[in-house]
Chains A and B, each alone.
Chain A
């Protein structure tokens, strides 16, 4: 017992940490991308990549909250869409100011999270079913609000989004703001309790943690980040589209898993998910610049993602094994 643990194992622990996988994948992707696309590090190129990455990063952060607490949120894509169509239609058809529209759009997204959280944590229906149903419902609502793509937000908004501020790409600033927003929660009690509840709900309850409340809040957090993502995406595309968020539900889950967060909950980190999300964006670039014909791009990017996921999965199994042999 006495000599089993020494301080230099802290270093190994960091390298074994699940979040590392996300960042290692991201770095691998970055190197591969830089090889096929020598202009990758030009400011304008970074800017445009981050512009697309920011919404996915935000959704992935929110999804991490839901997954850490032992749940799943399939409705994030629909929430992205809802915020997008609400903001755009308020701006262009109801002459609402952009910022008021933005606040209303985000509030609507959060309201969806409140409903999700209520049904899952209090009515106790499995998250998979609730959020899947919610996805259909909200997609329907979005279609009713804006049946056809269109509308426009003020030009200065999307011009800022595609620009730099103080030499830094604006979307990068937004990503930083998103991560900081997460930090606000992560280092309060709720941040720890998400992990505790996802890791061992029974133990959490025995220690006086309000399990139901934590579960509820995880869906509100997830929805909040998803609706912020919807706002960022609106700034990126400048107009509304009732189908715009469809890909985010599964992509955010892929980012979360690539970032080393266990789908079973209780283990993982947002920083890993951010790495995973950036990796997914890079994969799109790589297949394009590697001259993969358009018809095969989906196939090749799918294969790369599957291999990334397999690496994550196997590394997990390995850390589990370490624990098994530890007793002897």
Chain B
């Protein structure tokens, strides 16, 4: 009898949970907003984020939500739905399908996979939903990927270094990871820039794996091998490792490109007066917020300039990608201002962040 009572209790509470869940659901009714979807109306936007397990991604989602809040106040966005998949393709597909079924106007996807989402994306497009992959890209000619322009990102740092060296000197290239798409694009930019300066001699090119510890280790042996390093070109994630290698050798680092983390900025501000100079271009988590700006513009019916759409950096046979230039560059001249306004007091894992303003985004549209 006791058992029977228990079974009934559990069954009833199960029903209660369902009804409670149902109760929460009905008043807002995700499906309803889309019915008003015409021109200049309020939009429901879904964000299917493939992974939330690191600081960079967390910052990215927080940026998206911050920008969305402004639009919600203006009545442009009626609702922002954020779903995070745990790097699991099927979970992300299920989330995308739920977004389709609840009738959102647009789905922004930071994809887990460049290929596996294609059927789900096609389903969404069939249902008349705008699909914007961002940060990562999807191999499908019919979508518009929004991603940071890695070529121009790398080019900026390389040009700054060449310029500071007046086209003459010995340099080290500290690259990321051989074979990875982003590395290939950046390496191309580096080569394109430095080959223009016959006076610049590349002592050695090493791969630091975008990891601080690896970079420090590689740099330590480079310092011992080459007494005559005039400049260092490094990608992101490794600047602090290089600095530490020099600190351990009781030396001041030469001219070098830097890193977006709070840790590197702290060193830079503290050693600016003792002759340390650097250059940082952000590869910002703000790309999500930038992508949201693009999405809103496209929902409002604006068309991208044909010059805005470029080759897919991963699969260059497809022309489906907006390459966003980095919105913020830091040099000695604006270091103090950036440090004081955005970096100071943030946790050491915080990355320099920025996203395109509405007017900057406008420039990409007709």
Verify if A272 is at the interface (C-beta below 8 Å from B): no
Q: Which of A44, A300, A307, A317 contacts B13 (CB 8 A)?
A: A307
Q: Which of A240, A294, A310 contacts B82 (CB 8 A)?
A: A294
CA gap between A28 and B21 in the complex, in Å? 12
Verify if B6 is at the interface (C-beta below 8 Å from A): yes
Q: Does the CB pair A32–B90 fall under 8 Å?
A: no
Q: Does the CB pair A304–B119 fall under 8 Å?
A: no
Q: Which of A39, A241, A247, A291 contacts B113 (CB 8 A)?
A: A241
Q: Which of B23-31, B249-257, B270-278 contacts A (4 or more CB under 8 A)?
A: B23-31
Q: Does the CB pair A48–B14 fall under 8 Å?
A: no
Query: What does the 1/0 interface line of A298-310 toward B look like (CB < 8 Å)?
Result: 0010011001101
Q: Does the CB pair B88–A162 fall under 8 Å?
A: no
Q: Does the CB pair A290–B123 fall under 8 Å?
A: no
Verify if A132 is at the interface (C-beta below 8 Å from B): no
Using known A-B contacts A49-B97, A152-B115, A315-B7, determine if residue A308 contacts B14 with beta carbons closer than 8 Å: yes
Question: Using Cβ atoms and an 8 Å threshold, which residues of chain B touch A45?
Answer: 101
Q: Does the CB pair A238–B119 fall under 8 Å?
A: yes
Q: Does the CB pair A35–B7 fall under 8 Å?
A: no
Q: Does the CB pair B115–A239 fall under 8 Å?
A: yes
Question: Using Cβ atoms and an 8 Å threshold, which residues of chain B touch A321?
Answer: 3
Verify if B15 is at the interface (C-beta below 8 Å from A): yes
CB-nearest residue of chain B relative to A29? B18
Q: Does the CB pair B101–A39 fall under 8 Å?
A: yes
CA gap between A246 and B12 in the complex, in Å? 33
Question: Using Cβ atoms and an 8 Å threshold, which residues of chain B touch A185?
Answer: none
Q: Does the CB pair A311–B119 fall under 8 Å?
A: no
Q: Does the CB pair B119–A162 fall under 8 Å?
A: yes
Verify if B312 is at the interface (C-beta below 8 Å from A): no
Q: Which of B1-43 contact A (CB under 8 A)?
A: 3-4, 6-7, 10-11, 13-15, 17-19, 21-22, 24-26, 28-31
CB-nearest residue of chain A relative to B95? A288
Using known A-B contacts A48-B97, A149-B114, determine if residue A237 contacts B89 with beta carbons closer than 8 Å: yes
Q: Does the CB pair A303–B22 fall under 8 Å?
A: no
Q: Is chain A's interface secondary structure helix, strand, loop, or mixed overall?
A: helix
Q: Does the CB pair A149–B90 fall under 8 Å?
A: no
Using known A-B contacts A52-B97, A246-B88, A289-B30, determine if residue A239 contacts B25 with beta carbons closer than 8 Å: no
Q: Does the CB pair B19–A32 fall under 8 Å?
A: yes
Q: Which of B3, B101, B103, B122 contacts A314 (CB 8 A)?
A: B3
Q: Does the CB pair B14–A307 fall under 8 Å?
A: yes
Verify if B98 is at the interface (C-beta below 8 Å from A): yes
Min CB gap B134→A, angstroms = 17
Q: Does the CB pair A36–B21 fall under 8 Å?
A: yes
Q: Which of A62-70, A215-223, A279-287 contacts B (4 or more CB under 8 A)?
A: A279-287
Q: Does the CB pair B21–A237 fall under 8 Å?
A: no
Q: Does the CB pair A290–B22 fall under 8 Å?
A: yes
CA gap between A292 and B22 in the complex, in Å? 11
CB-nearest residue of chain B relative to A241? B89
Verify if A73 is at the interface (C-beta below 8 Å from B): no
Q: Does the CB pair A238–B116 fall under 8 Å?
A: yes
Verify if A37 is at the interface (C-beta below 8 Å from B): yes
Verify if B87 is at the interface (C-beta below 8 Å from A): yes
Q: Which of A44, A49, A294 contacts B127 (CB 8 A)?
A: A44
Pairs A-B, 10 closest by C-beta atoms: A36-B25, A32-B18, A239-B115, A290-B21, A35-B22, A149-B113, A237-B116, A314-B7, A48-B97, A290-B25
Interface on A for B, CB 8 Å cutoff?
A: 25, 28-29, 31-32, 35-40, 42, 44-45, 48-49, 51-52, 55, 149-152, 158-159, 161-162, 233, 236-241, 243-244, 246-247, 284-292, 294-295, 297, 300, 303-304, 307-308, 310-311, 314-315, 317-318, 321
Task: Name 16 interchain pairs, CB-CB below 8 A, sorted by A.
Answer: A25-B14, A32-B19, A35-B19, A42-B101, A48-B100, A149-B114, A237-B93, A238-B118, A240-B115, A243-B89, A284-B94, A286-B18, A290-B21, A291-B24, A291-B25, A318-B7
* Further 13 A-B residue pairs, CB within 8 A, beyond A149-B116, A303-B17, A307-B17: A28-B15, A39-B103, A48-B100, A158-B118, A244-B116, A290-B21, A292-B21, A292-B24, A294-B82, A295-B84, A300-B21, A314-B7, A318-B4
